[in-house]
Structure 1
Amino acid sequence: MKSYYKYLFMAVFAISCVSCKKYLDVTPDNVGTIDYAFRNRNEAENYLFTCYATIQQLTYVQNNPGFTTSGEIIFPNNLTDFQGIDPTGFNLIRGTQNAANPGLNYWDGYNGGQATWKAIRRCNTMLENIDKPIDLGADEKKRWIAEVKFLKAYYHFVLFRLYGPIPIVDVNLPINSSTDEVRVKRAPVDSVVNYMVRLLDQAAVDLPPVILNPTKELGRITQPIALAVKAQILATAASPLFNGNPDYISVKNKDGKALFPAAYDATKWDKAAAACLTAITNAEANGAALHKFIATASVNGLNDSLKTVLDLQTTITEKWELNTETIWALNPVFPDQSYCMPRLTSKAAANPSFQGTFAVPIQEQELFYTHNGVPINEDKTWDYVNRYDTRTGDDANRFYIGNGYTTVKAHFDREPRFYADIAFDGGTWFGNGQVNQNSQYYVQARGSGALAGPTDRVRLNITGYWPKKLVNYLTVYDDGYTIADYRLPVIRLAGMYLLYAEALNEQGKSTAEVLPWIDKVRARAGLKGVAESWTTYSKDPSKYTTQAGLRQIIHQESRIELAFECTPGWDLRRWKELPLALSKPLQGWNIYESSATNYYRPATMVIPIFNVRNYLWPILSDDLVVNNNLVQNLNW
């Protein structure tokens, strides 16, 4: 007991003397309880799960910058009751980010950001004490060490994507560390990347290839997860944001050390490509394959069009243990289906339980291809100029659009991923308790008299588009609701195929090497291969034959395939393409109008604010005062 109070006094004294510890958790707290936490295997396992805790909070997409700042989703900023959603992350594209009080502050753990440095500290504490439980077997100990090394690498990656060069915290500092020792410096980009990769290499060899007991262990890290994350890290390091970015040449530590590489290094794409292939090979060897719809007993006799849509939609919502495509998902169930679903029945219209306020802008729906598998502004057979004219649904399109319902021409003749991913005025909805393909619900979004929502009209979806992809077709919303839970994927096999295609193209490989990986994804989506689609239907038929043209195709393909999964927002950052995605006002339809003619007039919802400084997060200004070794990110 005396020892406990001795350590407690040391902790309080150190914190009071070294106030800078608030900005970066590098010393352990609750020192007196550490021996207790590792006194036996069961207690140590509880601490292991504590190391996992922060990563599981990423299931709240409203706190994920990859979701909120990508231009894929608009959240209304005029609600008096946000119904459980913190709007901080969504407001960042409105220009609210600042250094005095950063939104989604993952550095300090404020304003929707997770306490990432604290999570790293927990991992270090686990590694430092792993030898204490005498009843912990050698094989299990190796696995736990590997899991924690992975988590430590991933937490560094979370910070790296947001802040770029960060301090490397490999060990916890002693409780009696001096003020100068606690005032850590930011490490250069290449040093951070090498550190994360080294941890993952160490972890991968001792991680299990698959989870053999999903009931008890689903969500714990496997070898395919570690290898896939390594590929993501190396692709991020090879990308324009971090690989010879001229914007960041002047960013240096106070000792003059440059924090960003000054010159482009093509060999970084070689490393990324090799890591992608290793990750894919390992995942496939352990059973990974592109997902196909698994029908429940009540679903039968689906036509090919609807079957393809469900192949795509359930790629996200299928149970993890049944979904061969999910390499890694977050273990808690996705909590936000109610923000992604329209009101499909008159009873639902009178029941405001589901907010439906995650609104997809017109620009996002226009990203999806035509049914010929090329962009809508490139397809020489598709009427792009008159896409905002109206057209009435007919028998030929009844599986996609309500028969006899008038909607906009842009909703016709689109690729299956469009119908799987986005709900729109007139669009059919297989599910919500109705699984007969000939009597599907369809969305009626126009005007206050339609099935748009309660009398509190500010809670309507403000664009007229919902991210249908994020709703399980088995979820039912009527006078009550039943949510069919699922876990949101972090990494899918299709995403790894597209990442590998990107790396190969950046290496300058031939189309014969690159296109098969894209075409695997397109085939599952019901589309012809890139070469056939562009040659036959595009106004730019040779686009895919140049590196720059194929780069555009790969980027658009990735944004479509992974839409609303948080990945496109991070990709747009590393590609340095966010200014293009946010260069125009984000628009929706005139949702309060009842007639189709008046409804289908684009209206501005948000004018995004983005410049070079927004690529990286600001470090809280107070942290720079407390730790004078830290330097701020560019222009903050």
Structure 2
Amino acid sequence: MKILIKISLVTLLLGAVSCKKYLNVVPDDVATLNSSFANSNETEAYLIGNCYSSLQQLGDVCRNPGFTASGEVIIPTDLPSNASLRGSGQDAGFNLLLGEQNVPNPLMNYWDGYNQGLNLWQAIRWCNTFLANVNLPLDLTADNKKRWIAEAKFLKAYYHYWLIRMYGPIPIADVALPVNASTTAVRQKQQSVDSCFNYVVGLINQAIPDLPPSIQNTITEDGRITQAIALAVKAEVLTTQASPLFNGNPDYAGVKGVDGTPLWSAAAVATKWQTAAAACKAAIDAATANGAALYQFVPQSGLKHMSDSTKLLLTIQGALNSSWNTEQIWTTNTTFGYQIQACPRVTTDATTVYDFWSNFSVPMGETEIFYSNNGVPINEDKTFDYSNRYTVVQGDAANQYYVSKGYNTNKGNLNREARYYADIAFDGSNWFGYGNTDDNNPNVINAVNGNASPADPISYNSTGYWPRKLVPYQTASSNSVFTSQNYYWPFMRLPSLWLLYAECLNEVEGPGSDVYQWIDKVRARVGLQGVQQAWATYSNNPSKPNTQTGLRQIIHQERRIELAFEGQAGWDLRRWKELQAVLANPFIGWTVQDKAKTMSAYYNLHTAFQPFFGLRDYLFPVQQYDLLTNPNLVQTPYW
């Protein structure tokens, strides 16, 4: 078991009992500081158990608004408080889409740590305490000291970055405040958003030289920060700073601090994209130099039959759910713990599993962002019968490894790209694995009759689509017991960097071969033609890749497809200022709860619910309590 997991569990318990508010200067661990830094072992334990512990919690997708509030996955609105995600706080992020955000007690409160949030100011304080005391142990070697300081600086930078993405301008907690600090020192004010970003980048720059290029002792140190991780995060930070939400956003032009200082830049600065592009290229080079490469599934012994089509699906899925593979630039030590939420009832045995929740539901709008098998949007493909996509047809020979041949399903499930079938399960889709590894005689998802357990009607999927990508093929149930093939959650994969670089280059110089090549590398792995050829051949808008605006749309859609269900789309859609448009329409699915359980009853469009998302929701509110206790703070715009 990794050292991060061993120590962080204790820290989680310690952190859970703390009721301290933001920037309370009396540390919880005053009495134990001397013992915490008595020697090098205790000092490393403090780094891992305290400074890293919040990072592990951020790996929980239900704590990540990039996952829960993106519109990629929803949960049923009528679940009672005793259901898996209800009453536990794990539903807070999903409830944002129900319009339940508020100022007195905000959901996903990362300022104070309540309502499925996490007190990141406490996490930053732990990092500052570490940095202030790391010189105490006499047996700490110079090399370890440099590395550990670099790790703490990176973590402090990353926690600030997470807060910036949520709140915009924030205070900067750069040093550990003494116990006797004055009220003025404690009541810090927000800095301008560019100052905040620049502070984060500056800390990462300080950390990079003293971080290891890669992890050598993978048994005990997988999950710790490397140069490649730091450079990749720096690239993401700078791209976020250059993006429309933060770069000259007119919606925030007049927002000022309590002293009248503007907190947002008045106009967009184009050179930020150039800076971000350079950072992306540096991150790609560093990752590649340390062995980063696209994952390829290698068939294991005991597989009965696997076609090339199925192998491609497992390659796409494995890039996410095969831990520590070469494609994963940054993987946390947090296991994905929601497979029983993401998995349909694949077999008859699964319907007898107690609490087989299956609540993670993919709205139909999300399913329709995936391309046709020609690699262009389904509403642009000249050969795709878009207007009749909801009609019921039978699976055919051309799609037999993806959709059961002869099974009734909706027409929109046929002739789609491989990522559609790797990422999403639906009525009539084949499911390789779950105890059956013969894709000539596969398990088939019967959502019409097997969507919910008769003995447990609250465990159901509200749209008829599941995020299949989140469930490894080895996961199965046997004798009414669900057994997950656990995996560690990745924060960033290599294709994410490629697409970030393509995005930055397009914003700097517009379409060109240097931009296309990075998009095409992602598409080639999944068997699609390059963007120019695909659009010229199949799209009713063949010139789309040749304009900056058109290519921007393509890059954005490519990222949403490639990184679907990975906790990234919500952040991307926010920084692009596109989430409001995505959430303007109701979440649609099939009539999954019809008691008749017939095909004709099931295949009727049904509204799961209408999401609520307005201009104010791009950023999160600061709890009213904190504004009262610190008059130097101003509330988030529009709250």
Normalising by structure 1, what TM-score? Answer: 0.95
Aligned-pair CA distance for 1:286: 0.3
Instruction: Report the 3-state secondary structure (helix = DSSP H, G, I; strand = E; otherwise coil) of the residue aligned with 2:233.
Output: helix
Alignment of 1:530-541 (within 5 A): 530-541=531-542
Q: Deviations over 1:220-277 (max 9, x none)?
A: 0011000000001000000000000001011111110000111110000011000000
Q: Distance in 2 between matches of 1:470 and 1:91?
A: 21
* Structure 2 letter corresponding to 1:46: A
Q: Which residue in 2 is equivalent to 1:238?
A: 242
- The one of 390, 394, 397 equivalent to 2:396 is 394
The range that moved more, 61-70 or 515-524, is 61-70
Does the 8 Å CA contact 1:89/1:112 hold for their aligned counterparts? yes
Q: Distance in 1 between matches of 2:73 and 2:20?
A: 36
Contact 2:341/2:360 (CA < 8 Å) preserved in 1? Answer: yes
> Would the aligned equivalents of 1:68 and 1:90 in 2 still touch at CA under 8 Å?
yes
Aligned to 1:564: 565
- Greater shift in the superposed pair: 555-564 or 30-39: 30-39
Q: Do the aligned partners of 2:74 and 2:94 also contact (CA within 8 Å) in 1?
A: yes
Change beyond 3 A, Cα 1:352–1:261: same
Determine the C-alpha separation between the residues in 2 that align with 1:358 and 1:116.
27
- What SS class does the counterpart of residue 180 from structure 2 fall into? coil
Aligned position for 1:343: 345
Q: 1:22 to 1:414 in 2, by over 3 A?
A: same
Assess if the C-alpha contact under 8 Å between 1:352 and 1:454 holds in 2: no
How far residue 310 of structure 1 moved from its aligned partner, in angstroms, is 1.1
**Preserved contact between residue 452 and residue 459 of structure 2 (Cα < 8 Å):** no
Q: Which residue of 2 aligns with 1:521?
A: 522
Task: Give the whole-Å Cα distance in 2 for the aligned partners of 1:459 and 1:301.
Answer: 32
Aligned to 1:55: 55
Determine the C-alpha separation between the residues in 2 that align with 1:609 and 1:595: 32
Residues 1:497 and 2:498 aligned together:
yes
Q: Does 1:202 pair with 2:206? A: yes
Letter of the 1:610 partner, please give it.
Answer: F
Deviation at 1:452, TM superposition (A): 3.4
d(CA) in 2 for partners of 1:97 and 1:600? 34
Q: 1:611 aligned to 2:614?
A: yes
The whole-number CA distance in structure 2 between the counterparts of 1:426 and 1:452 is 16
> Partner residue of 1:469?
469
> 1:75 touches 1:358 (CA, 8 Å); kept in 2?
yes
* Preserved CA contact (<8 Å) 1:360 1:466: yes
Alpha-carbon deviation of 1:440? 1.2
Tell me: CA distance 1:365–1:469, structure 2 relative to 1, closer, same or farther (3 Å): same
Choose from 349, 367, 377 the match for 1:365: 367
Q: Match of 1:153?
A: 157
CA contact (8 A) 2:355 2:459 kept: no
Contact 1:27 1:172 in 2 (8 A): no
1:163-178 matches, within 5 Å, as 163-178=167-182
Q: Counterpart amino acid of 2:611?
A: P
Measure how far apart 1:134 and its partner are.
0.8
SS in 2 for 1:491: strand
Amino acid at match of 2:548: Q
Separation in structure 1 between the aligned mates of residue 226 and residue 304 of structure 2, nearest angstrom: 35
Match of 1:113 among 114, 117, 121: 117
Deviation at 1:97, TM superposition (A): 0.3
Amino acid at match of 1:374: V
* Alpha carbons 1:446, 1:452 under 8 Å: kept: no
User: What does 1:617-628 align with in structure 2 at a 5 Å threshold?
Assistant: 617-628=620-631
Letter in 2 for 1:95: G
Kindly indicate whether the alpha-carbon contact (under 8 Å) linking 1:38 and 1:132 is maintained by their aligned counterparts in 2: yes
Aligned residues of 1:340 and 1:470 also touching (Cα < 8 A):
yes
Distance in 2, matches of 1:82 and 1:45, equals 39
The CA deviation at 1:345 is 1.2
1:71 partner letter: G
Question: Aligned residue for 1:553?
Answer: 554
Tell me if structure 2 keeps the 8 A contact 1:444–1:452.
no
Paired amino acid for 1:622: Y
Given residue 78 of structure 1, which amino acid in structure 2 is its aligned partner? D
Higher mean alpha-carbon deviation, 589-598 vs 213-222, is at: 589-598
SS at structure 1 position matched to 2:55:
helix
Residue equivalent to 1:135? 139
After superposition, give the CA deviation of every residue in 1:136-181 in whole Å (9 maximum; x if it has no partner). Answer: 1110111101110110000001101000000000001111011122
CA distance in 1, matches of 2:243, 2:188: 27
Aligned AA for 2:189?
Answer: K
Gaps of 5+ in 1: 1-19
Report how far residue 21 of structure 1 moved.
6.8
SS in 1 for 2:593: coil
Task: Give secondary structure in 2 for the equivalent of 1:205.
Answer: helix
| Distance in 2 separating the partners of 1:28 and 1:294 | 50
Shift of 1:338: 1.0
Q: Deviations over 1:55-110 (max 9, x none)?
A: 10122211210011111011123222222552111010110001111000000010
What does residue 7 of structure 1 align with? none
Q: Distance in 1 between matches of 2:481 and 2:104?
A: 44
User: For 1:587, what is the secondary structure of its paired residue?
Assistant: strand
Task: Indicate how the Cα distance of structure 1 residues 306 and 295 shifts in structure 2: closer, same or farther if over 3 A, else same.
Answer: same
Give CA-to-partner distance per residue, 1:534-560, whole Å, 9 cap, x none: 000000000000000000000000000
| Alpha-carbon distance change, 45 to 306 in structure 1, aligned in 2, over 3 angstroms | same
Distance 2:487 2:166 in 1: 27
Structure 1 residues 423-432 or 479-488, which shifts more? 479-488
Instruction: Mark the CA change 1:26 to 1:413 in structure 2 (over 3 Å): closer, same or farther.
Output: farther
Structure 1 range deviating more: 310-319 or 270-279: 310-319
User: C-alpha separation between the residues in 2 aligned to 1:300 and 1:519?
Assistant: 33
Distance 1:432 1:25, change over 3 A: farther
Residue in structure 1 matched with residue 513 of structure 2 by the alignment:
512
* Residue 528 of structure 1, CA deviation: 0.7
| Identity value in percent | 54
* 1:592-636 deviation per Cα after TM superposition (whole angstroms, max 9, x unaligned): 342223212111112111111100000001111110000001111
Contact kept, 8 Å, 2:448 with 2:602, in 1: the verdict is yes
Structure 2: runs of 5+ lacking an equivalent: 1-18
Contact 1:351 1:454 in 2 (8 A): no
1:277 aligns with 2:281: yes
CA contact (8 A) 2:451 2:461 kept: no
CA distance in 2, matches of 1:246, 1:396: 50
Could you tell me how far apart the structure 2 residues matched to 1:349 and 1:25 are?
Answer: 50
Alignment counterpart, residue 190 of structure 1, candidates 175, 190, 194: 194
Q: Distance in 1 between matches of 2:31 and 2:347?
A: 58
Q: Find runs of 4+ consecutive structure 1 residues off by over 6 angstroms.
A: none
Distance 2:25 2:542 in 1: 56
Cα distance in 2 for partners of 1:239, 1:280 equals: 20
Q: Which range is displaced more, 110-119 or 435-444?
A: 435-444
How far is the alpha carbon of 1:210 from its aligned partner?
A: 1.1
Matched, 1:481 2:485: no
Secondary structure at the counterpart of residue 165 of structure 2: helix
* 1:45 maps to amino acid: E
Matched residue, 2:11: none
Structure 2 equivalent of residue 253 of structure 1: 257
How much does 1:395 deviate?
3.2
CA–CA separation in structure 2 for the residues paired with 1:453 and 1:378: 39
Q: For 1:460 and 1:633, how far apart are their aligned partners in 2?
A: 37
**What letter matches 2:47 in structure 1?**
L
Q: CA RMSD in A?
A: 1.3
> Post-superposition shift, 1:53?
0.3
2:330 aligned counterpart, secondary structure: strand
Give the TM-score, by structure 2 length.
Answer: 0.94
SS in 2 for 1:459: coil
Question: Which residue number corresponds to residue 291 of structure 1?
Answer: 295
CA distance in 1 between partners of 2:195 and 2:323 (Å) = 38
Deviations 1:513-534 (A, max 9, x none): 1000000000111111100100
C-alpha contact (below 8 Å) 2:25/2:181 kept by paired residues: no
The whole-number CA distance in structure 2 between the counterparts of 1:26 and 1:283 is 39
In the other structure, the counterpart of 2:7 is: none
- Structure 1 residues 26, 498: closer, same or farther in 2, change over 3 A? farther
Aligned partner of 2:12 in structure 1 is none
**Number of aligned residues:** 613
CA drift at 1:188: 0.4
Q: Structure 2: which amino acid aligns with 1:252?
A: K
* Paired letter, 1:618: P
Check the 8 A contact 2:305/2:440 in 1, yes or no: no
Q: Is the 8 A contact 2:330 2:490 kept in 1?
A: yes
